Chains A and B, each alone.
Chain A
Amino acid sequence: MRIFDPHIHMTSRTTDDYEAMRAAGVRAVVEPSFWLGQPRTRPASFFDYFDALLGWEPFRAAQYGIAHHCTLALNPKEANDPRCTPVLDALPRYLVKDGVVAVGEIGYDSMTPAEDAALAAQLQLAADHGLPALVHTPHRDKLAGLHRTVDVVNESSLPRERVLLDHLNETTVKDAKDSGCWLGFSVYPDTKMDEDRMVAILRAYGTEKVLVNSAADWGKSDPLKTRKVADAMITAGFGEDAVDQVLWRNPVAFYGLSGRLRLDVPQADGLHEGNSVLRGGE
Chain B
Amino acid sequence: MTQPPAWTRGDVAALLPDDTARAWFDEALADAARAAGTPPAAPSPYLAHTWELRFAAAGRHCGHRNADAVRALLLIEARAGLGTLTRLYGYGSAAERRAVLRALPALVEGPHAVHLVEDALRSNDTGLVLAAVGPYAAAHLDAHAWRHAVLKCLFTGVPLDAVARWTHRAAGDGELARMLRDYAAERTAAGRDVPDDLGRVLTLTGEVPKEL
**Contact in complex: B158, A55 (CB < 8 Å):** no
Known interface pairs A55-B93, A259-B60; 17 further A-B residue pairs with C-beta atoms within 8 A, sorted by A's residue number: A51-B92, A54-B93, A55-B128, A56-B123, A56-B124, A56-B125, A92-B48, A97-B56, A97-B96, A98-B56, A98-B60, A98-B95, A270-B159, A271-B157, A272-B159, A275-B157, A276-B156
Q: Which of A75-83, A138-146, A205-213, A260-268 is found at the contact surface with chain B?
A: A260-268
Identify B162's interface contact among A92, A259, A270, CB under 8 A: A270
**Contact in complex: A55, B125 (CB < 8 Å):** yes
Given contacts A98-B56, A276-B126, contact A282 B93 (CB under 8 A): no
The answer to the question of A277 belonging to the interface, with a C-beta cut-off of 8 Å to chain B, is yes
The answer to the question of B152 belonging to the interface, with a C-beta cut-off of 8 Å to chain A, is yes
The answer to the question of B172 belonging to the interface, with a C-beta cut-off of 8 Å to chain A, is no
Tell me the bound Cα distance from A98 to B59 in angstroms: 6
The B67-118 residues at the A interface (CB cut-off 8 A) are: 67, 91-97
- In this complex, how many residues of chain A approach chain B with their Cβ under 8 Å: the count is 34
The answer to the question of B130 belonging to the interface, with a C-beta cut-off of 8 Å to chain A, is yes
B127 CB contacts on chain A under 8 angstroms? 59, 268-269, 271
Tell me the bound Cα distance from A282 to B156 in angstroms: 8
Tell me the bound Cα distance from A274 to B45 in angstroms: 39
A270 CB contacts on chain B under 8 angstroms? 130, 159, 162
**Contact in complex: A97, B93 (CB < 8 Å):** yes
**Contact in complex: A282, B130 (CB < 8 Å):** no
**Contact in complex: A274, B60 (CB < 8 Å):** no
B128 CB contacts on chain A under 8 angstroms? 55
Closest 8 CB pairs of A and B: A55-B94, A268-B127, A54-B93, A90-B46, A98-B59, A276-B156, A274-B157, A272-B157
* Shortest beta-carbon distance from A107 to chain B in Å: 23
* Chain B, residue nearest A268 (CB): B127
**Contact in complex: B94, A59 (CB < 8 Å):** yes
Tell me the bound Cα distance from A51 to B128 in angstroms: 13
The answer to the question of B64 belonging to the interface, with a C-beta cut-off of 8 Å to chain A, is yes
* Chain A, residue nearest B48 (CB): A93
Interface-centre pick from B59, B92, B126 (highest chain A CB count, 10 A): B126
Interface-centre pick from B59, B67, B152 (highest chain A CB count, 10 A): B59
* Chain A, residue nearest B97 (CB): A55
- Interface set of A (CB-CB < 8 Å, partner B): 47, 51, 54-56, 58-59, 86, 89-90, 92-94, 96-99, 259-260, 262, 266, 268-277, 279, 281-282
A260 CB contacts on chain B under 8 angstroms? 60
The answer to the question of B145 belonging to the interface, with a C-beta cut-off of 8 Å to chain A, is no
**Contact in complex: A281, B124 (CB < 8 Å):** yes
* Chain B, residue nearest A90 (CB): B46
Tell me the bound Cα distance from A276 to B130 in angstroms: 13
Tell me the bound Cα distance from A259 to B156 in angstroms: 33
Tell me the bound Cα distance from A269 to B125 in angstroms: 11
Can you show 16 pairs from A to B with CB atoms below 8 A apart?
A: A51-B93, A54-B94, A55-B125, A89-B46, A93-B48, A93-B56, A97-B57, A98-B57, A98-B93, A98-B95, A271-B130, A272-B157, A275-B126, A275-B157, A276-B126, A279-B156
Q: What sequence of 0s and 1s flags, for each residue 151-186 of chain B, a beta carbon within 8 Å of any chain A beta carbon?
A: 010011111001000000000000000000000000
A274 CB contacts on chain B under 8 angstroms? 157
* Chain B, residue nearest A91 (CB): B46
* Shortest beta-carbon distance from A103 to chain B in Å: 16
Identify B152's interface contact among A99, A273, A282, CB under 8 A: A282
* Shortest beta-carbon distance from A256 to chain B in Å: 13
B91 CB contacts on chain A under 8 angstroms? 47, 93-94
Identify B53's interface contact among A96, A268, A272, A281, CB under 8 A: A96
Interface-centre pick from A58, A96, A98 (highest chain B CB count, 10 A): A98
Given contacts A269-B130, A276-B156, A282-B156, contact A96 B56 (CB under 8 A): yes
The B23-66 residues at the A interface (CB cut-off 8 A) are: 45-46, 48, 52-53, 56-57, 59-60, 64
B126 CB contacts on chain A under 8 angstroms? 59, 268, 271, 275-276
Identify B124's interface contact among A94, A266, A282, CB under 8 A: A282
* Shortest beta-carbon distance from A282 to chain B in Å: 5
**Contact in complex: B159, A271 (CB < 8 Å):** yes
* Chain B, residue nearest A273 (CB): B157
**Contact in complex: B94, A58 (CB < 8 Å):** yes
* Chain B, residue nearest A260 (CB): B60
Tell me the bound Cα distance from A47 to B52 in angstroms: 17
**Contact in complex: B94, A262 (CB < 8 Å):** no
**Contact in complex: A59, B93 (CB < 8 Å):** no
* Chain A, residue nearest B68 (CB): A269
* Chain A, residue nearest B57 (CB): A96
